[in-house]
Amino acid sequence: MLENKRVVRNILWNFAGNALPLIAGVLSFPFLLDGLGTDRFGLLMLAWVLVGYFGLFDFGLSRAVTHMVAHQLSAGDAKAASGIAATALRLMWVLGMVAAAMVLLFAAWLPKGVLEIPKDIQQETVASFCTLALSVPFVIHTAGLRGLLEAQHAFRAASLIRMLLGVGTFVGPLIGVSLGGGLVSVMGILVVVRVAGWFLHKCAVDQCIQVSLGEGMFSRHWLRPLLTYGGWLTVTNIVGPLMVYLDRFVVGATLSVTAVTYYSVPYEVVTRVWVISAAITGVLFPLFSASWGADQAKGAHYMRKGALYVTMALFPICAFLAYLAPEIFNLWLGSEFADKSTTIFRWLTAGVLIGGVAQVFFALVQGAGRSDWTGKLHLAEAIPYWLLLLLMLHQYGVVGAAVAWFVRTAVDAIVLIWLASKLGSAYKAGVFLPITLTIAATTHLLASMLMDGIVMRSLFLTVSFGVFAWFAWRHLVHEREWLSGVLVLWGRGRDAA
């Protein structure tokens, strides 16, 4: 993708670390749904959401670790980098304990105060979420360890662990269900998986030579810069995920747990496509942090290429999913799911394309040290989004939740691109092509809802793929960036074999 072959290698490792869990999730969903039933499966989906949300309850420290350690290492100060890491990771243990206590309180309130849960599984629900709380400190500390690995560009180790952890998140519950275990047993397996993931991250960090946690000591000197940078990230990490995850709880409270399943399954499937954008932005973030203030042109080059290639990578996948959604759901989960989830799936797919591109600009703004901009953005979005979500749910049912999510994602992308252009003239000049391409691709995805019949949709999809192939050839192969990087990696793999 970019001139730096290491960047290409790290992106491919990052992608591999996210792709395997995606496959595991797709394959395991039908068996989990059949084994647990619709209500318990909906609760399992909420458990995954809850762990993901509290995994971000770290006051921005995991992102701050990546940003500050990458900056110190680029300046050649490994001792300072070790002090930053040691201070942040010790503080994250404390935050993990606080978050675990919050989950316990939430678990007692969940069945009667939040969701419409059948009486026969209310006690099981409380016990399940109390069990899940045991994993929260390890989840939060793991985020810090992963941030430290990424700051050192140790994406191979981080990605291998992510593969194991992601697969275990789906395969573990599947094993529990196959052995006849209930929801509590499934949650217990999830706890074991998370603790194992923490242990593997810790071992990987201990193997790194750039930053040594043994040499780093907790220091008040680093608390202020960590918390200053992480302060607005805290807003982002609390409010942002609330907007991402709250919709499923609102759907459950407003409609039913069954409706959560019809919404969550399409959401979990299509947002997994973000493994591609996450692979790219995860590598770009420490590069943005290291280059900010030193080489604006280089940072703008990373931004433009990152946004362009995210769009081009996501579009064919999203188009395939949107245009063939009825057939996919009918073959995968049956005609009832196809009837109830196809429209939801298409709105979410368009939002995923926009959101994937927005991740590049999000990484750029935070890499430039402006975490306050993203925090203020999420604060400004929160209440209007929740009001829109409630309105759309009452007017259009569960489909309304997908429309509201799409609108929020689009607004988020527009503002992030505008903020990125405020960083300098080089950044402003680089946003035009990615914006134009994203608008055209999103319009194409939404058009899938206007077409009936597999023949018409297939013809339209084929034509669009032809146009895409021409554009990809012009911007990927002609520039010889992505292709050369892939060929280099393929040659290394062949030689190693």
Q: What is the pLDDT along the chain (497 residues), one digit of tens a residue?
A: 444 555 666 666 666 666 666 677 767 777 777 777 777 777 777 777 666 666 556 667 777 787 778 777 766 677 777 788 888 888 888 888 888 888 787 777 766 555 666 677 777 777 888 888 888 889 888 888 888 887 777 767 777 787 788 788 788 888 887 777 677 788 888 888 889 989 998 888 887 766 666 555 666 777 777 766 666 666 666 676 667 667 777 777 777 767 777 787 788 778 878 878 887 887 787 778 776 666 677 778 888 888 888 888 888 889 888 888 888 888 877 777 777 788 888 899 999 999 999 999 988 888 777 777 888 888 888 888 889 988 988 888 888 888 999 999 999 999 999 998 888 777 887 788 778 888 888 888 888 888 877 888 888 888 888 888 777 676 655 454 444 443 343 344 334 33
What residue type is 361 in one-letter code? F
pLDDT of residue 406: 92
In the chain, % of residues over pLDDT 70: 77
Q: Please give the torsion angle defined by the CA atoms of residues 420, 424, 429 and 432, in that order, rounded to the nearest 10 degrees.
A: 10
Q: CB–CB of 400/393 below 8 Å?
A: yes
Q: CB–CB of 1/11 below 8 Å?
A: yes
Q: What is the pLDDT of residues 341-350, one digit of tens each?
A: 888 888 999 9
**How far apart, in Å, are the Cα atoms of 150 and each of 156, 193, 282, 299?**
10, 21, 8, 18
pLDDT of residue 480: 47
**How far apart, in Å, are the Cα atoms of 242 and each of 49, 192, 289, 355?**
10, 26, 26, 16
Nearest to 51 by CA among 150, 181, 198: 198
What is the C-alpha to C-alpha distance for residues 485 and 2, in angstroms, rounded to an integer?
8
3 state DSSP class of 272: coil
pLDDT of residue 481: 46
What is the C-alpha to C-alpha distance for residues 174 and 293, in angstroms, rounded to an integer?
49
CB-count exposure of residue 300 (10 Å: 0-12, 13-18, 19+): buried
Nearest to 264 by CA among 186, 324, 344: 344
Q: What is the DSSP letter of 475?
A: I
N- to C-terminal Cα separation, the chain = 24
What is the C-alpha to C-alpha distance for residues 159 and 174, in angstroms, rounded to an integer?
23
Q: CB–CB of 263/405 below 8 Å?
A: no
- Counting Cα atoms < 13 Å in the Cβ hemisphere of 205 gives 27
Q: Cα dihedral sign for 120, 126, 131, 132?
A: positive
What is the C-alpha to C-alpha distance for residues 259 and 261, in angstroms, rounded to an integer?
5
Q: Cα dihedral sign for 393, 235, 434, 285?
A: negative
CA 186 to mean position of chain CA atoms? 23
3 state DSSP class of 219: coil
Find all residues with CB under 8 Å of 464, minimum gap 6, and list them. Answer: 319, 444
